[in-house]
A and B are shown apart, each in its own frame.
Chain A
Amino acid sequence: MQRTLLFETFRFSIIFLIIALTLVPTLWMVSMAFKPIQEWSASGGDLTWWPKNPTLDNFRFIFGESSSELIVALERGAGRPILASLLSATFGTLIAMVAGTTAAYGLSRFNSGRNLPLALIQLRLFPPMAVMIPVMIMWAFLGLTDTWWGLALIYGIVTLPFAFWLMKTFFDDMPREIEDAALVEGCSRFRVFLKITLPMMRPALASSALFVFILNWSDYLIALLLTTRDWVTIPVYMASLSSSMTGQLYGAKAALGLIAAIPPVVMGIAIQKHLVRGLTFGALKE
């Protein structure tokens, strides 16, 4: 496109309009998180865009400390749900990455498991809702319902397609001369994989793991179906942030929402370069 002044003005005005639309909902939540109860409750009257009296009360409140006379302290604080989200997402990522990386290497170098690329894409295609009945029955049978390890197992399986496809494209891209050289020197294939290939792939492994973690951390539906009380995750727990006195606890929800939103946004920006590859199952590399 020609770089005329007119075009540049047009470009920047459109971009800034879109940026504003992008940021308003997020900033509204940030603002709500720091408002005292008088400013966010339904009866609070006037709505302000920025908190008049910024406070950390909402954050204190969700961790079990009530600093306002309007609402009683929560029966259960947000600490445990945050722990549940962290544990299930982390171990889910671990399962997906271990199974996905080894399988991707097996396919990329030994051409085994040729059914996997398509099978895993199909796994991703299906709505989780459509396989949840058997999963709920199996999880109940195995005693995995309402545990973080039960969630971790299903998260690991659900995000396995991404781990597999990402690592497969990284392995396919990797030059094989170094592996070849180590083989000629007499290393076993498995040693080469452990001692040479994996250390070389550290950046790729890190990006894939972060990508998978974001997906696991973002789940709502599976946790809604498979946890009931002890190990509910952040999004499921958020629904319980309301009280009979004031209705929805917007401030508390915004505070917890902010805590939940920060890790994936930071990680996502950190792995920007590989987002396209991850989202398109490696069909497109940037």
Chain B
Amino acid sequence: MTTHTSTIETVDKKAGGREANLGLWLTLPTQLLVVFIAVFPILMQLYISLTDWSPLDGIQWWRAWELWNTFANYTDLAADSQFWGAVGRTFLIMAICVPVEFLLGLGLAILFVDNFPGRKILYSVLLVPMMVVPAVAGYMFYMLFQSGGPVNDLLSIFVGYPVRIAWLSDPTLALFAIIVADIWQWTPLMFLVLLAGLVGVPEDQQQAATLLGASWTRRFFTIVLPRMKAIIIIALAIRVIENFKIFDTLFIMTNGGPGVATETISVYIYKITQQDLIWGYVAAIALAILIVLSLVSVFAIKLIASKEQAS
């Protein structure tokens, strides 16, 4: 990257300060958009989160101080069992989905490393689920899991008598259906990223190890996997981040129900935003999540950076 800068720098000196500002101008629109969507809204959110403000109160948001309640929203949050239930469910879904997607994706990627007839077309077909609009995938799985739908139809063939399970009305089965939909849609992403990583592992070492008589499993665990560490971390991080936000498919399939059986953090926030309209409280939840996520991300980035320096 640094090899070609010398010419540019000399030219820069010739052109003087006039063009040195160009970089600032080029980055300005993005900087403004970041301020517009991050800095200002977060300050506004902080302010509203300290009040009982709701859009139904008939007063503008900047006059929310009239409903000042200091930290009441935050103490309510600590005692809100429905919220903590949603947090637990979000992590439960993540704890099942992400490892399953990872193992399936890795297994498939291993099968796709070397060339075979039809590889290209099968590869494209495997990627289809992740490109289907998530909301549409939600409707697809909603239809599949109806009591008169194809999932029960297939089960009937296997067990030999008609099965009429109401998947989406049972708390446990609804959670299962949602997890199936997520795994269906996002295993391809793991597959795609991990395959790119596997293909990138240089072959010379592996060939040397093969000549020395190392078995495939041994080569995989001692040569391939360690070299894929960074990619595995990236793949897992992407899915953890995205799975944490899980909303579209889930909301369409179950609406968070039956009861609160599939209510995740996003669904809970959506419900109190749209149905209960207690925005002061929503702002407090949202801000608390933002703070926790920022701390976690800063910590994670520092950890990864220090590991990279060490290796």
Interface residues in chain A, defined as those with a beta carbon under 8 Å from any beta carbon in chain B: 1-2, 8, 11, 14-15, 18-19, 21-26, 28-29, 32, 42, 47, 49, 98-100, 102-103, 105-107, 109-113, 116, 118-138, 154, 156-157, 160, 164, 172, 175-177, 179-180, 183-184, 188-190, 193, 214, 217-218, 220-221, 224-225, 234-235, 238-239, 250, 253-254, 257, 260-261, 264-265, 267-269, 272, 275-276, 279-280, 283-284, 286
B196 CB–A CB distance under 8 Å: yes
A2 near B127 with CB under 8 A, answer: no
Using a CB–CB distance below 8 Å, which chain B residues touch chain A? Answer: 1, 4, 7-8, 11, 15, 19-20, 22-27, 29-31, 33-34, 36-38, 40-42, 44-45, 48, 55, 61, 104, 107-108, 110-111, 113-114, 116, 122-137, 139-141, 143-144, 148-150, 153, 184, 188-189, 192-193, 196-197, 199-200, 216, 230-231, 234-235, 238, 241, 244-245, 247-248, 251-252, 265-266, 269-270, 273-274, 279, 282-283, 285-287, 289-290, 293-294, 297, 301
B contact residues around A154 at 8 Å (CB): 37
Contact status B4-A261, CB under 8 Å: no
CB nearest to A32 among chain B residues: B143
| Bound-complex Cα distance A269 to B8 (A) | 38
Cross-chain contact A134 with B184 (CB below 8 angstroms): no
List, in ascending order, chain A residues with CB within 8 A of B124's CB: 269, 272
B residues less than 8 Å from A127 (CB atoms): 244-245, 265-266, 289
Q: How far is B27's CA from A176's CA once the two chains are assembled, in angstroms?
A: 20
Residues of A within 8 A of B184 (CB): 21-22, 25
Among B31, B107, B148, B197, contact of A42 (Cβ-Cβ < 8 Å)? B148
Query: Which of A15, A172, A239, A260 contacts B136 (CB under 8 A)?
Result: A260
- Of the candidates B11, B23, B29, the one whose C-beta lies within 8 Å of that of A110 is B23
A183 to B217, CA, bound (A): 54
Structural contact, A134 and B41, CB atoms closer than 8 A: yes
Q: CA separation between A10 and B197, bound complex, in Å?
A: 23
- With beta carbons under 8 angstroms apart, the residue of A18, A176, A284 that contacts B197 is A284
B29 touches A119 (CB 8 A): no
Partner of B286, one of A116, A129, A238: A129
Can you name the residue of chain A whose Cβ is closest to the Cβ of B266?
A: A129
The minimal Cβ–Cβ distance linking B165 to chain A, given in whole angstroms, is 14
Number of A-B residue pairs with CB-CB distance less than 8 Å in the complex they form: 286
20 extra interface residue pairs, beta carbon distance < 8 Å, beyond A32-B143, A126-B293: A1-B110, A2-B216, A22-B188, A105-B26, A106-B25, A109-B8, A110-B22, A112-B27, A113-B23, A113-B31, A120-B30, A134-B48, A156-B33, A189-B19, A218-B135, A224-B270, A254-B139, A260-B136, A269-B124, A284-B234
Tell me which residues across on chain B come within 8 A of A180, comparing CB atoms.
4, 7-8, 11
Q: How far is the CA of A21 from the CA of B104 in the complex (A)?
A: 13
Which secondary structure dominates chain A's binding surface?
Answer: helix
Contact of B26 among A8, A21, A102, A253 (CB under 8 A): A102
**If A113-B23, A119-B38, A122-B297 touch, does A220 touch B244 (CB 8 Å cutoff)?**
no
B44 to chain A, nearest CB (A): 4
Cα–Cα distance between A239 and B70 once the two chains are bound (Å) = 39
**In the complex the two chains form, is A129's CB within 8 Å of B133's CB?**
no
**Complex Cα spacing A123 to B294, Å:** 10
> Which residues from A are CB-within-8-Å of B23?
106-107, 109-113
Q: Is the CB of B150 within 8 A of A49?
A: yes
Q: CB distance B140 to A25 under 8 Å?
A: yes
Contact B245 A47 (CB under 8 A): no
In the bound complex, do residue B126 and residue A22 qualify as a contact, i.e. CB atoms below 8 Å apart?
A: yes
Among B27, B108, B192, B235: residue with most chain A CB under 10 A: B27
Q: Are A116 and B29 in contact (CB under 8 A)?
A: no
**Which residues of the partner chain B approach A26 to less than 8 Å between Cβ atoms?**
128-129, 132, 140
Q: Are A15 and B111 in contact (CB under 8 A)?
A: yes
CB distance from A255 to the nearest CB of B (A): 11
**Contact of A134 with B133 in the complex, beta carbons under 8 Å:** no
Q: Which of B29, B270, B274 contacts A102 (CB 8 A)?
A: B29
Taking the closest CB of chain A, its distance from the CB of B5, in whole angstroms, is 8
Q: Which residues of B contact A105 (CB under 8 A)?
A: 26
**A276 B196 Cβ-Cβ under 8 A:** yes
In the bound assembly, the distance between CA atoms of A16 and B72 in angstroms comes to 56
Q: Which of A125, A134, A179 contacts B293 (CB 8 A)?
A: A125
- Shortest C-beta distance, A167 to chain B (Å), equals 11
